[in-house]
Amino acid sequence: MWNLLTLSKPNSKEDKKLVTAIKTFGGFTPSNLAIYRLATLHTSKAKDIDGFRESNERLEYLGDAILGAAVADYLFKKYPFKNEGFLTEIRSRIVNRESLNNLARKIGIGSIVQYDQRNMQLQKVILGNTLEALVGAIYLDKGYLRCKKFVIDKLIQPYFDLEVVVNSESNHKSKVIEWAQRNAKEIKFEITETKRGRGREFLALVVLGGEMYGQGFGLTKKKAEQNAAEKTCVLLKI
Amino acid sequence: MWNLLTLSKPNSKEDKKLVTAIKTFGGFTPSNLAIYRLATLHTSKAKDIDGFRESNERLEYLGDAILGAAVADYLFKKYPFKNEGFLTEIRSRIVNRESLNNLARKIGIGSIVQYDQRNMQLQKVILGNTLEALVGAIYLDKGYLRCKKFVIDKLIQPYFDLEVVVNSESNHKSKVIEWAQRNAKEIKFEITETKRGRGREFLALVVLGGEMYGQGFGLTKKKAEQNAAEKTCVLLKI
């Protein structure tokens, strides 16, 4: 699978640029440069080798899983008293497509991705996918621990203010209320308390102009409302 | 978060049972038993400590991510010439809910999970979730590499025949054909060839009794048909 090693000359101009970029955004020197070459190779520029089209897509699949594990670990330890619903939600806000695309742009992936410049434009999603592929490459080249360290020290900590990420949740409710005001609809959050095992849970329902929209659950009223508001945003496509 | 360490007596009967079970299905001795106690504690038996309800749910979140990474790595290396669509699909067949529930039952998770036996039945999904939590526990206790080794050597290799997993794909097409015969509908798979970058790709469309159902893509006709059949299965709820 490392056939590409033999395809591009080591120490070419592109290689030097790649090494410099990795040193800059990653703070380390690649050991096996071929893996990083592959990680930055978009499918539009991939070559068929013995009928197999080698591009960064396989590394993207691997990197996606490793990135998910590294961020899961980081949040698990950072928030020892938060439940799994919170952790899952915060993780998805960090590793979602849009967030990865923006992050990739910020660390300069655009200057190292290899794509077919004659026939296509460099879309944002290509940047995010390439970043995932690079995480896969670092994992293969340096191992899990160093890859996790890269994810935390070079991606999460410098680019995400977790307080902002966590609190952006409260936007759902205000979004729904603003929508109701714009559209002159009466809005109500109906709350019901339910039993859950030995504990209790709240059920929130958004009612807009007499019609039922999102339903949400939570261990507090606030969380149930946020959850219901979030689902309502999806339903209203706002 | 390891408050539970002080809550259950070390070397209790349950502890000994837990250690024996881990040695049997995992082939290793736990270093920090408290983490495994927590991993086997279903929320129905969890205790509130300072307002925080400590159960295995957080470890399940962590274990899910680590399991995903370990299986992603395993398949990535096992199938160097398969594309990311194949790898993603095979991974989801291994780590899906149903598959994990069955696997957890086979390795005997039922005998170590702590749940509220007076008020509830031991559902299969609790077993699968507890297995994920145990993967999270092994990761915290032994590190990523040993946890990955556990996943591959003790879960994947003994319990999954990958040839069977890979080939079960072909069931979708026959499922759809059988459905059409049972319901006396004419069935057609329409194939169109399209360009994709410099290569080509196939588009398959399932037409049932003159109506269009699932559309699928693939680099071969067979794969496009399977993909279309799979989507048709979802649409027909079969």
Q: What is residue A6's predicted lDDT score, i.e. its pLDDT? A: 45
Asked whether the beta carbons of residue B83 and residue A197 sit closer than 8 angstroms, the reply is no
Overall CATH class of domain A170-236: alpha beta
CB pairs under 8 A between A and B: 88
Asked whether the beta carbons of residue B44 and residue A197 sit closer than 8 angstroms, the reply is yes
Q: What residues does each domain of chain B span?
A: 3-160, 171-236
- Cα(B131)–Cα(B25) distance, rounded to whole angstroms? 11
Q: Which two tokens stand for residue A235?
A: 């339903």
Mean pLDDT of the residues in chain A: 88
pLDDT in tens, A43-88: 999 988 777 788 999 999 999 999 999 999 999 999 999 999 899 9
Interface test with A, best of B56, B57, B66, B95 (most A CBs within 10 A): B66
Q: What is residue B198's predicted lDDT score, i.e. its pLDDT? A: 58
B residues 209-228 lying closer than 8 A (beta carbon) to A: none
Lowest mean pLDDT, pick from A158-167, B59-68, B130-139, B166-175: B166-175
Nearest chain B residue to A84, by CA: B58
- Chain B positions touching A57 (Cβ under 8 A) are 83-84
Select from A192, A217, A215 the least CA-distant residue to A205.
A215
> Is B15's Cβ below 8 Å from some Cβ in A?
no
pLDDT in tens, A33-45: 999 999 999 999 9
User: Quick one: pLDDT band at residue B197, thresholds 50, 70, 90?
Assistant: low
A161-193 burial, b if ≥16 CB within 10 A, otherwise e?
A: ebeebeeebeebbebbeebbeeeeeebebeeee
Instruction: Catalogue the active-site residues of A.
Output: 64, 132
- Chain A positions touching B197 (Cβ under 8 A) are 43-44, 46, 116, 119
Q: For residues B202 and B218, is the Cβ–Cβ distance under 8 A? A: yes
User: Quick one: pLDDT band at residue B158, thresholds 50, 70, 90?
Assistant: very high
Q: What is residue A48's predicted lDDT score, i.e. its pLDDT? A: 81
pLDDT in tens, A136-184: 999 999 999 999 999 999 999 999 999 999 887 657 888 888 888 888 8
DSSP 8-state class, residue B114: B
- Residue B10 confidence (pLDDT) above 70: no
Interface test with B, best of A50, A81, A146 (most B CBs within 10 A): A81
Asked whether the beta carbons of residue B88 and residue A1 sit closer than 8 angstroms, the reply is no
Asked whether the beta carbons of residue A73 and residue B84 sit closer than 8 angstroms, the reply is no
Q: Report the percent of chain B where pLDDT is more than 70.
A: 93
- Cα(B18)–Cα(A75) distance, rounded to whole angstroms? 28
Nearest chain A residue to B148, by CA: A144
Residue in A46, A62, A72 closest to B65 by CB:
A72
Q: Which CATH number fits domain B171-236: 3.40.50.300, 3.30.160.20, 3.20.20.70, 1.10.287.130?
A: 3.30.160.20
Fold of A3-160: Ribonuclease iii, N-terminal Endonuclease Domain; Chain A (1.10.1520)
Select from B88, B87, B95, B93 the least CA-distant residue to B131.
B95
Q: Which two tokens stand for residue B221?
A: 């006709």
Residue in A53, A69, A116 closest to B199 by CB:
A53
The reply to whether the predicted model has a pTM over 0.95 is no
Q: What is residue A184's predicted lDDT score, i.e. its pLDDT? A: 86
Asked whether the beta carbons of residue B197 and residue A84 sit closer than 8 angstroms, the reply is no
